[in-house]
Amino acid sequence: MSDYIIRAKGIKKYFGGVKALDGVDLEIKKGEVHCLAGENGCGKSTIINVISGFYTPDGGELEIDGVSYPKMTPQQSIAAGIQVIYQDLSVFPNLTVMENLALNMELASGKKFVSKKRFREIAEEAVAKINFEIDLDEKVENLSVADKQLIAISRALLNNAKLIIMDEPTTAITKKEVRALFNVIRDLQKQNIAILFVSHKLDEVFEIAERFTIFRNGKNTGAGDASELTQEKFTYYMTGREIKETPFIYEEKPGAQKVLEVKNLNLKNGFKNVNLSLGEGEILGITGLLGSGRTELVQALFGYHKADSGEIYIRGNKVEINSVKDGIKNGIGYVPPERIVEGVFLPQSIKENISIEKWDEWAGPLGIMNEKKIEEVVNEWVEKLRIKLHSIDDPMNTLSGGNQQKCVLAKWLILDLNVLILNGPTVGVDIGAKFDIYELVKSLAANGLSVIIISDDIPEILSNCNRVVVMRRGEIVKEGLTKDMDEASLAEFAVAD
């Protein structure tokens, strides 16, 4: 019997003239946690679809648990013990936890009548496998992303999983939830279940994985024991370039005006008595746990919420921000944490996404858009931000996550901003694009733009901001220069009772 649950050798997959996979290898031992990493478009999703039987490879050999599969179907993959948990988790939000867990098994059994008793027995067996305590009668739409993830894992185990593939499982969950997920993964490993953990976060690779494989442009660039991996190697394998982050240095100009001042700002169930200021060219970091009030605060500054009381000043002038329109009028731009939901119009063109906030200005008397002006400005920002695309007329959904994020930035940068707010600016962005965004934000600040970064990634805050504010339970509990702080102290303030 093979020691490997998966052995993929020289796998090739072409789409037209594009080589999505150009002879890649991937070997996963039974019961190990293996990390698959690579930038967007490197072939990670394609190899997952080959292993799961969704794609038939154009070349190479695929072996599961010692059995060779020249042409495998999804049904054969599941029967061989392969389960994939995609980023969307594939749960039914309008059904209960119990129904989500038991439905697939009941459909597969061919039974003609539904038995609630049988459904409950199946669901109880599923959650017991990972000691997951949950109300089986709760609708899934009411649960957190982390709980939905555990439902997907429990469901996978009902099918006698030997390998569970987790595609970017930590993108939308908090640090605390990541730790809980890792505990579940370690328990699965004790049951000799292998995990293919797809991620581009080095700290996660170090913490949870035993071995790693990295793809770039459809080819292998690195593989081995995670203990031998360094930040420099990981970055180079992923991007093909050496990346060195430089801390943000801010020099306050004598007599410089405060661009933003907030005095005793309050929002019920959001935050209370918030006082802060932002100088010209500063990058202020705001951190804290989910629910600390950090997002509600910046949304009030932008106009998503109307503050109950308090004062906001822009360049010394008191302003009223009661709507998003007010926020934009006062030169405030906001990049939201959920880019796909709040930041872009995926079916629309890149050109339309970037230019939308200037349409009123660029429309003629009869509402006819100045297409020449739009194309000129959009192309200018595409070049400035080094957005990788085929044509500005292509739909936004043709771009990688990092390039979509740059388009959202461009949408605001074409305006005359006073303050740019970035809420989770690198969520779902690969390491190369992340570095590009960091360097862009620092250069914008160096040219006088005032920036606020909201993140629970403390290293991100420390390396890209000159000052930091820590929020907890709606209040600011710590404020100071990043050069005087470290990761441990900031984390302690964020979670302390």
Given 239, 270, 302, the domain boundary residue is: 239
Residue 250 lies in a domain: no
Tell me the angle at which helices 145-157 and 175-190 cross, rounded to the nearest 10 degrees.
10
User: In this structure, is the dihedral angle defined by the CA atoms of residues 333, 337, 342 and 347, taken in order, positive or negative?
Assistant: positive
Given 239, 271, 299, the domain boundary residue is: 239
Residue 76's closest CA among 62, 58, 96? 62
Cα(313)–Cα(19) distance, integer angstroms: 54
Residue 459 lies in a domain: yes
Residue 253 lies in a domain: no
Kindly state the tokens that stand for 101: 């867990």
**The dihedral formed by the CA atoms of 143, 144, 147 and 151, expressed in degrees to the nearest 10:** 60
Beta strands 59-64 and 33-37 are: unpaired
Determine the structural domain holding residue 114 and report its residue range. Answer: 4-239
Phi, psi (rounded to 5 degrees) for 305: -120, 150
Residue 36's closest CA among 88, 73, 81, 84? 84
CB 254 within 8 A of CB 233: no
* Cβ neighbours of 247 (radius 10 Å): 12
Q: 355 Cβ partners below 8 Å, 6+ apart?
A: 362, 374, 377, 378, 411, 414
Same domain, 203 and 266: no
Residue 246 lies in a domain: no
Distance linking the first and last C-alpha atoms of the chain? 53
Same domain, 446 and 304: yes
User: In this structure, is the dihedral angle defined by the CA atoms of residues 230, 232, 236 and 239, taken in order, positive or negative?
Assistant: positive
Same domain, 60 and 184: yes
* CA diameter of the chain: 79
Q: According to the model, what pLDDT value does residue 343 have?
A: 75
Q: List the pLDDT tens digit at each of the 497 positions of the chain.
A: 689 999 999 999 999 878 999 999 999 999 999 999 998 778 999 999 999 999 999 999 999 999 999 889 999 999 999 999 987 778 889 999 999 999 877 776 667 777 889 899 999 999 999 989 999 999 999 998 889 999 999 999 988 899 999 988 887 777 788 888 999 999 999 999 999 999 877 788 889 999 999 999 999 999 999 999 888 899 899 989 888 878 898 988 777 789 999 999 999 999 999 999 999 999 999 999 878 999 999 999 999 999 999 999 999 999 999 999 999 999 999 999 877 777 788 899 999 999 999 998 888 777 788 889 999 999 999 999 989 889 999 999 888 778 888 999 999 999 999 999 999 898 777 788 888 889 999 999 999 999 999 998 888 999 999 999 999 999 999 999 999 998 888 888 777 65
Cα(240)–Cα(229) distance, integer angstroms: 15
Same domain, 417 and 445: yes
> 3-state secondary structure string, 233-267?
HHHHHHHCCCCCCCCCCCCCCCCCCEEEEEEEEEE
Residue 475, SS3 per DSSP: strand
Same domain, 235 and 266: no
Residue 199, SS3 per DSSP: coil
Cα(171)–Cα(40) distance, integer angstroms: 14
Q: According to the model, what pLDDT value does residue 1 have?
A: 64
Same domain, 343 and 482: yes
Please, which residues bridge with residue 194 across strands? 163
Residue 245 lies in a domain: no
Same domain, 204 and 281: no
Q: 254 Cβ partners below 8 Å, 6+ apart?
A: none
CB 9 within 8 A of CB 21: no
Same domain, 165 and 118: yes
Cα(167)–Cα(88) distance, integer angstroms: 9
- The percent of the chain in helix, strand and coil, each rounded to the nearest 5, is 40, 25, 35
Q: According to the model, what pLDDT value does residue 439 have?
A: 92
* H/E element, 109: helix 97-109
Which amino acid, 113? F
- The number of domains in the chain is 2
Same domain, 378 and 488: yes
Here the CATH number for the domain that contains residue 399 is 3.40.50.300
Residue 204 lies in a domain: yes
Kindly state the tokens that stand for 129: 């496998």
Given 239, 268, 303, the domain boundary residue is: 239
Same domain, 286 and 154: no
Same domain, 262 and 233: no
Residue 244 lies in a domain: no
Residue 249 lies in a domain: no
Residue 153's closest CA among 177, 118, 117? 177
Same domain, 218 and 111: yes
Q: According to the model, what pLDDT value does residue 365 have?
A: 77
Residue 411's closest CA among 424, 423, 420? 420
